[in-house]
Each structure stands twice: as structure tokens, then as C-alpha cells.
Structure 1
Amino acid sequence: MSKMRIKKGDRVRVISGKDAGKEGKILSRNIDKDTVVVENINMVTKAVRPSQKDPRGGLVKKEAALSASKVMLVCPKCGKATRVGRAFLDSGQKVRICKQCGEIIDKA
């Protein structure tokens, strides 16, 4: 299990697999399984039984989890897929930085 350097809400680009090159926002992440769910990426069709909430049931399209190693953060400043570094400000605050342009992404 590796350290996950991406967060919920980050914009990411898929770097391998059938959806390679597509971008989306992270909806959720599972640190224990090292997986992420990305908006409109890795769509699967699931059969759903009729219920009180959904009386018709049928087939539902939804996002499935994919390995966190298959996605890279897209830097909001330079727009490139990048690795994420960590740095400390003079105040001692930890921040995430873009390895491509060196800009601060946000507070870690």
C-alpha cells in the first residue's frame, strides 16, 4: 500500500487502461484498497432489483473504482498531469506542490 497523494475533489487524468487520456474529478477514494472513483470514468452497467426507492429496477450505469496508480493529478496552474510533491512553507505549514511547474497546489 502506497501513500495516496490525491484527494477527493482533485482533477485527475487516467494514464493507462481503456480510459487513458480522459480527465475527471475524484468522487471518493479508498486508502485501504488504494483505489479511487473518478467521475464518468470506468463506467459499468449494474442490474438493480426493484425496491421502494426505485420501483422499476433495471440496468443502471455507475462509476467503478480503479487503482490509484492509474491516475495522475492535473495541476490547476499549468494544466499538465504531474506527480505530487510535498514542501513546507516558512510558517511550517505542509503543502502539496506540482513537480512540473513547482507551484503550490493546496494545503496538504
Structure 2
Amino acid sequence: MAAPVKMKIKKGDQVIVLSGKDKGKTGTVTQAMPKDGKVIVGGVNVAVRHAKPTQADPQGGLKRSEAPLHVSKVAHVTADGKPTRVRYETKDGKKVRVAVKTGETING
């Protein structure tokens, strides 16, 4: 198993997908998995599974769920909707995340 990835994207961040079939889509990070270096973004990279009817789920049918994306495929979104990298700065004795393009502080 690989070492945990240092992720600058956290749960609740607005991100944009940089590559793959969902390139250009934006969404909110619903789950971050630093051990795997992956994130789950709401409404992006939706996987469809066929489920047979069971006693627990008598309807069956198509089940949709978001699949994880590697953290390198997403970037934080600025206020104008463009991707930006994230860096850390110390402000007032606290370590905060800052958008590289705009210089704005990212809450969270």
C-alpha cells in the first residue's frame, strides 16, 4: 500500500475536474480519502450498477453512486469559476490555505 498523500483539498471544497470523461465539471467534495489520495465529488464520476431485486430491495434496477477521483485530477475553484492551485501561508500565527491565482484565503 502506498504512503498517504498530502492533500490540499478537503471535504466541503468547491473543485473542478481537470481531466477525464468529466473534465470541466464542478462540484463539492463530499469525502476525502488521504490514505488512497482520492476524493469523492458530488455529481461527478457517477458509476451505475445493475442490481437484482432482493428482499431488502424488491425494486432492484440501476443504482447510481459517485466513484472516487484521484486528487491530482481536481483543482480548487476560485470565485470566478477558474481552477487554481493551493498553497499554505502563516497569517496571524495560523496556517491557512491560500489560492495561488487570487491570493484569497480558503476557509476550512
Please indicate the TM-score interval, normalised by the length of the shorter structure: 0.7 to 0.9
Identity score, percent: 42
Deviations 1:58-92 (A, max 9, x none): 2111111111110001124x4321100111112x1
Task: Flag structure 2 segments of 5+ consecutive residues without an equivalent.
Answer: none
Structure with greater contact order relative to length (CA < 8 Å, sep ≥ 6): 2
Q: Give the TM-score taking structure 1 as reference length.
A: 0.87
Q: CA deviation at 1:11?
A: 0.5
CA distance in 1, matches of 2:45, 2:36: 17
Q: CA deviation at 1:94?
A: 1.0
Q: Would you say how many aligned residue pairs link Structure 1 and Structure 2? A: 104
Q: What amino acid sits opposite 1:94 in the alignment? A: K
The answer as to whether partners of 2:5 and 2:35 remain within 8 angstroms in 1 is no
Q: Give the TM-score taking structure 2 as reference length.
A: 0.87
Greater mean deviation of Cα atoms: 40-49 or 62-71: 40-49
Task: Flag structure 1 segments of 5+ consecutive residues without an equivalent.
Answer: none
Deviations 1:33-76 (A, max 9, x none): 11111111111111234242x22122111111111110001124
RMSD: 1.5
CA distance in 1, matches of 2:32, 2:60: 27
